[in-house]
Structure 1
Amino acid sequence: MRYIHFVIFCLLLLVGCAQTPELQTASEPAAEPIAAPVADEEPAAPVAEVRVTPQRPFPDDSLYSLLVAEFALRRRKYEQALQNYTELAPQLRDTAVSARATRLAQYMRDDQSAITAAQLWAELDPDQMEAHLMLANMLARRGQTLEALPHMIALTRAGGAANYSALATGFEQLSNGQKQKLLDTINQLRLEQPQDTQLMICKALLLENLGQTPAAVDELQAVFVIDDQQLQAIVLEAKLKQDLGQHDGLYDRIITALEANPDNSLLRMQYARLLTRTDLSEARTQFTYLLERAPDDSNLLLSVALIEMELGNIAEAKPHLEALLRLDTRTDEAHLYLGRIAEQHQRFDDALLHYKNITPAGDFGFATGRIAALALAAGKDQELRFYLAQLRQQYPRLREQLYAIEIDSLSSTNRTGEALQTANVALLELPDSSDLQYMRSMLYEAQGNLNAMERDMRLILERDPDNATVLNALGYTLADRTDRLAEAEMMITRALQLQPDEPAVIDSMGWVKYRLGEVEEALTYLQRAYVLFPDPEVAAHYGEVLWVSGDQEQALEIWRAALLVKPGHSLVLKTMRRLGAPVVAE
């Protein structure tokens, strides 16, 4: 019989014979998690000091794989070592091998492999708190709340500390029943561990998620009885009171904590972020304080720049954004905001330069859209087409998006014919693009070519029968522009089944009901659509049905409110004139 630790013994003999100083020897897998690769200059441990303790028999064919894993680990071939360890762990079911696999996977940031290995480790040795700690943290971080909870409980009952507040990460994804079960478990643990502040904070977070914010604030008071300097609770209390609109003494605890420890940059950062919701000037003060102590911190540079822009201090914002470019960090965001600043000052050539420096990793779509808008406004149509063609060649995976930007830019500047030509070219190149085909159908509709519009939309529905956007658009057009009302109602009904809370679909249903003469039902749908989304088009429809149903006063209120938001909105004014309503806003 051979034994697990005989492998290490053989390895040490091989190392000794080969006299390879870069390899380290060990009689047991490291007890501490791997923190860094083994350094070449560390001397090998003498073989005489190694104690080999047989544990249990293992298959002969596992010896070679384990030797390969050990050699790979010591030669820094971590991927090969991890592959062997993770394959061997379930075969050998040995705690040392499972621990080795867990720690190596954690070091390599391979969470799934680490979780699998740690689960086996905890199964083999339920009293091993390191395995429970790793599982609790990794599962909670991934939002696997219910899976993490037993490991946290094991830690607590063994006298350790568990980060229960991390359970809130995946709480929203649970069913209502699972949420209540978790809250009940936390309440039971609170009785078992009345001094555990992490349990109190966890309960406060769960209550907040359930919409019970006042109760969450009350729960935090129990934390302060035990530890009035518990920073996580201090910050959470301020956030919850913000949400409740309780501004008296809102930041008192944070200010007191910072006075006691002014160098706590994490707390000051959280304080500054909270201030962005209530006091931008003070937020700038706090971010500036942090930036003075870390002048090359890209997050702080960007934060201060954005606050300055929000406060209208463009001259103060610009140097921070330019510093990001010098540091060659967060350059996409720096170019984006510098481009917007240049636009505000009508320095359009500068804006174009900044936008053209934004990569696909950044806000590429927005930047390209602005390039298109600026070029068209300057009459540089041909230059724009050439530029976009170059981009499509440079970034073939973005061809669809780039064509969409070009079509939308042309359409929004009333170049409908050119937009349609571009859409035709795009669909020759990308015939299966439903997005481009939908855009073309909308261009046909704008030209009054309803047959072509319907043809494109039905081609999309052949590929994707449950495309709610297309069902709604075609259904609404049929309801508004034809007498095919039964067909329109069928399409909109299906769209509403797919997107029951979408205001545009609800509006369409109200409109088709109105066209069918079902005024009361139409009002129900249109009122709901207007509450969800008081858009002028919805207002035009809602106002019309109110008017014909006899409630002309409310109809006028709806229309006039829409015209305050969008003065001169064509559909609202057209509706009012058609119905003979007094038009007081043009």
Structure 2
Amino acid sequence: MMNTDATNRNTFSNEPTQNESATTITSVANVNSLPPTIAAQPTLTEPSLYALLDAEFSADRNDRRRAVMIYKQQSFKEDATAVFERALSLSLRNESVEDSLQFAKTWQDQNPDHVPAWFYVAHLALRAHDYLLAGETLNRILRYDPRADLSEILIGIYPNTDNDKRELLAALQPLDSEQNASLSVLKAGLLYQFNEPEIAIVHINRALERQPDYVPFVTLKADILRKIEKPEMVINYVSQSRLRNPDSKSLYLYEIRYLLDLKQSEQAWQLLLEAHNRFADDAEITLLAALVSLDIEEYPSADRLLNMLAKSPAYLDQAYYYLGISAERQQRFDQAKYYLNGVMQEDLVLEARKKVVAFELINDDVDAAIATLEKLRKEFNVFAPDTYVLQADILWQQNEPEEALRLLTRAARKYPNSEMLLFARAQLLDDKADYVVKRTLLNHLQALDPSNLSYQLSYAQLLLSNERSSEQGLALATAIIQIRYDDPRYDNELHLQALNILAGNALANEDYRQVINYLQTPYDVLPTLRSGTLLLRAYQGLGDNDKVDALLADLQQRFSFGQHNVNDRIQLY
């Protein structure tokens, strides 16, 4: 078959080529004397040079509509293949895909033996979701050459919706792809997504017969095998493929990540060390090896790898961040602070400084904790609202709620569009004494973000604090605990807070059994001081002294309950 790759690539691309500039024809004398429209040109059997010059100058002057019109007209003359390709290129940049497809199809109908046009039409039909035309055109191509390279046609055409994917699969199914690797892979991928791995494996095996060691084909087969075979067979297949392709980083990473998915961290770590030795200068593998070393508590290995990574300026901040984590887990808090204070990468710096603040508070050095936040505020203004909220939290824990509220009020004036500051300020307001102001703030926040569950839950708490039987408050909190764990909106912390609010309301109504129904199981799974305190009062209300004694001992052991420990205070945000 004729080589169409370069032609397809240039036409399908939206990038201008060197030949597309009008500067290539500036040697033509007296440009202004050219006829303004193609209509003034005498009828020619071949494309008119003057018309094409006019089109190029129009394109250069951003009159692209005129340029496209002229090129399209000229492309239907004799020996106009190059003009057609230029016309299609301009059309793709300046018209809809549907318009470009209509033009390409019309031109191809007039030039039925021009094979590259079949490729253009097939590609554009797929992009325009005209799968019937795409199937017909692909079938024509495969009858002409069963092994035709369809890779250029298939670039960037994968559908986003399930309906489009089903239509594409239906169009492809009748096509004989036994000898065509790219088409076999496309079928396999669609079948895999529609959970038909037994059929998908047939198609991917056909592709692998043509290109047995092509990594994307290997990994797709591994994905399919994961649905129909035991993990041991999948690992064996990937491992054997990796041994045949020892320089394939992708296959190492695939096997490593699959082992991690299977919770086989030790095996993944050993393979990572092997990969690190083979790809010694690969920062991605070094970082992943370090992180897995941290997870399995191989701290010497983690520190060695991270110190190697720190020699690369691009990875210095990540290395310092995880060196800080490593030092923290080894109880080396001064060393952890050193590394975490050195992190300056924007997506890591806030979490790093939060940890430094926590270390300072462990040492009861409140001034140092606040100084860390103030420094962060100066260095990264984008995190100023976060630092004000954290500082207010420290003040609140130090039993200075009025000062915390004043700080947030000043910060809200400085950053009036920060929902974070408004919400933190609302949380510090008393549900009863500041009812009107707090309700106003929460209503404003809910108007800004009606789907925010934190705002809804805080509003539910406010309503129930002032009216135990508030139907709206009960409905809001109940709706949150009914969100399933597999729902994207599910948040474990919010779920527990909602349970605590409902349990607190039940306690106020002396419905002690309901309190226990809400909280006993969550407390057994993830004990918190707030849940434990509510349960304790419920068992006291029922007069169940054995439960009271057992729960009180548990609370004292876990949270130093009753010993006036400042860390016992229940944070509201």
In the superposition, the TM-score normalised over structure 1's length comes to 0.65
Q: Does 1:370 align with 2:355?
A: yes
- Note if 1:255 corresponds to 2:239: yes
- How many residue pairs are counted as aligned between the two chains? 490
Given that 1:62 and 1:88 are in contact with CA atoms closer than 8 Å, whether structure 2 keeps it comes out as yes
Match of 1:571 in 2: 534
Aligned to 2:255: 271
Conserved in 2, the CA contact under 8 Å of 1:392 and 1:402?
yes
Q: Where do 1:20-39 residues align within 5 Å?
A: none
Which amino acid in the other structure matches residue 275 of structure 1? L
CA apart distance, 1:217: 5.0
Cα 1:348/1:98, change in 2 over 3 Å: farther
* Structure 2 CA distance for aligned equivalents of residues 357 and 6 of structure 1: 50
Residue from 185, 205, 224 that aligns with 2:171? 185
8 Å CA contact retained: 2:238, 2:255: yes
Provide Cα deviations, 1:291-318, integer angstroms capped at 9, x if missing partner. Answer: 2233221111111111211221111111
In structure 1, what residue type is equivalent to 2:362?
A: A
Which deviations, in whole Å up to 9, do the C-alpha atoms of 1:314-363 show, x marking residues without a partner? 11111221222212122232121111112223333332332233335432
The alpha carbon displacement at 1:63 in A equals 5.5
C-alpha distance 396-564 of structure 1, shift in aligned 2 (>3 A): closer
| Structure 1, unpaired ranges of 5+ | 15-52, 70-82, 105-110, 493-503, 511-524
1:152/1:164 contact within 8 Å kept: no
Partner residue in 2 for 1:440: 425
Closer/same/farther in 2, CA of residues 294 and 98 from structure 1, 3 Å limit: farther
Aligned partner of 1:289: which letter? E
Matches within 5 A, 1:41-60: 55=48, 57-58=50-51
Identity of aligned residues (%): 17
CA shift, 1:573, in A, is 3.3
- In structure 2, how many angstroms separate the alpha carbons of the residues matched to 1:476 and 1:228? 62
Contact 1:333–1:362 (CA<8 Å) still a contact in 2?
Answer: no
1:466/1:228 Cα in 2 relative to 1: closer, same or farther (>3 Å)? Answer: closer
What's the secondary structure of 2:429's corresponding residue?
helix
Q: Deviations over 1:221-245 (max 9, x none)?
A: 5656776656434323433444667
Aligned to 2:374: 389
Question: d(CA) in 1 for partners of 2:373 and 2:299?
Answer: 31
Alignment-derived partner of residue 12 in structure 2: none
Alignment RMSD = 5.2
1:201 is aligned to 185
The alpha-carbon distance between structure 1 residues 167 and 488, as it changes in their structure 2 partners (threshold 3 A), is farther
Structure 2 unaligned segments of length 5 or more: list them: 1-18, 30-45, 76-80, 109-113, 555-573
Q: Which residue of 2 aligns with 1:162?
A: 150
Q: Does 1:336 align with 2:305?
A: no
In 2, Cα distance between the equivalents of 1:85 and 1:115? 14
Which structure carries more relative contact order (alpha carbon 8 Å, separation 6+)?
2
1:427 to 409, 412, 415: 412
Closer/same/farther in 2, CA of residues 348 and 99 from structure 1, 3 Å limit: farther
Mapped contact 2:510–2:541 kept (Cα < 8 A): no
Q: Deviations over 1:341-399 (max 9, x none)?
A: 12223333332332233335432331232233223333443344344334334433433
Deviations for 1:438-478, whole angstroms, at most 9, x for unmatched residues?
A: 11111224897444422321333455566554244213431
Q: Segments of 4+ in structure 1 off by > 6 A?
A: 4-9, 83-87, 100-104, 111-118, 147-153, 164-169, 525-529, 531-534, 541-554
1:467/1:312 CA distance change after superposition, 3 Å:
closer
Counterpart code for 1:286: L
Residue 307 of structure 2 aligns with an amino acid whose one-letter code is E
2:43 aligned partner: none
